[in-house]
Structure 1
């Protein structure tokens, strides 16, 4: 009888552990993949599915020296867009990049930037939401919902 109780306890602990593991995964999986989803929705049509850009028209974000070297400018660039010449990986680009003045929160910009910072050969430091909010301050771009 004691082995039965012991077996039931082990099974109960395993079931609770499995339940916690799957419910925790469910809670965080959307946020964990939010940056990739936001990139797909807002960026990939121009910068490409793999961040490769479009020939000499639209700069890459994959293995991009610009992404690595302009960290403090990137949140405002996403919020307000960009126009005028820019050099990325030694190539001059001069197209308009639309911004997202009202549709992305600070947290979403953070997740989007962190996805780009860690994808396609980029190995850059990730952002915190606080950092992104502070960087958005000078361009009047902070949105918190």
Structure 2
């Protein structure tokens, strides 16, 4: 072949034309292969499909088991509820006015009763500062009627007896505890003045420590000085729960008779 027949432009065009035809053929083969060939079980698509199916099956089984457990628990709880007999004795802290428990307690008399073996605390027993601090916080509720400084509410129909210098506050501990459990209603004389409190059971926590703390606080604040109140004393008076509201006539005398103690 002579050099005159060698045309570089033809060679260049032929090369790219062949390359284009080869690429088109390969692309067509790939498209036809994807469109008409189903993925085998060992192919990438087949493995993923099997995994998705297995996960779906596990989820459905788990849901079915959980639903059966819930339905079974409902049935069990319902059966136990129907077979449970009501409690025969009411708890003291849940005694309701007019209930059988309250009526039984009321039948025994309405006055404050100091139980046998009631703990006695010496008048000069030390007062724990931590107890005083706890009692001060609880007294915030009481101050609404008795005043922040225990001065009472003299100008509001005299319904809030003063605690400062009150013979009742430094008198028998049993009175104070019983008032917490039962409330107090009716005219009462405090420091020569008559007050008419209408106090239902105090809206305070009924645990022994809280009641003992607030009573210790008022007995040793506002110029008062008396023995602290202990949780054991509060516990001993829990028989007062459920009895009718107290009147001043139900209280023990604020000044102890000779040979007795304010506790």
Query: Would the aligned equivalents of 1:80 and 1:101 in 2 still touch at CA under 8 Å?
Result: no
Partner of residue 44, structure 1? 143
Query: How many angstroms apart in 2 are the aligned matches of 1:120 and 1:102?
Result: 21
Tell whether 2:197 aligns with 1:95: yes
Higher helix share: 1
Partner of residue 33, structure 1? 133
Query: How many angstroms apart in 1 are the aligned matches of 2:199 and 2:221?
Result: 20
Q: What is the TM-score normalised by the length of structure 1? A: 0.68
Say if 1:70 and 1:92 are closer, same or farther in 2 by CA, change over 3 A. farther
Shift of 1:140: 2.5
Deviating runs (4+, > 2 A) in structure 1? 28-32, 100-104
Determine which structure has more spread, i.e. the larger CA radius of gyration. 2
Say if 1:88 and 1:67 are closer, same or farther in 2 by CA, change over 3 A. same
- Aligned pair count? 112
Q: What is the TM-score normalised by the length of structure 2? A: 0.39
Aligned CA RMSD, in angstroms, stands at 2.2
| Secondary structure of 1:66 counterpart | coil
Partner of residue 10, structure 1? none
Say if 1:103 and 1:128 are closer, same or farther in 2 by CA, change over 3 A. closer
Provide structure 1 residue ranges, at least 5 long, that are not aligned to the other structure: 1-27
Partner of residue 137, structure 1? 238
| Secondary structure of 2:226 counterpart | coil
Say if 1:127 and 1:30 are closer, same or farther in 2 by CA, change over 3 A. closer
Query: How many angstroms apart in 2 are the aligned matches of 1:101 and 1:139?
Result: 16
Provide structure 2 residue ranges, at least 5 long, that are not aligned to the other structure: 1-127, 243-263
Q: Which string of whole-angstrom CA distances, capped at 9 and with x for unpartnered residues, describes residues 3-41 of structure 1? A: xxxxxxxxxxxxxxxxxxxxxxxxx9865511000001x
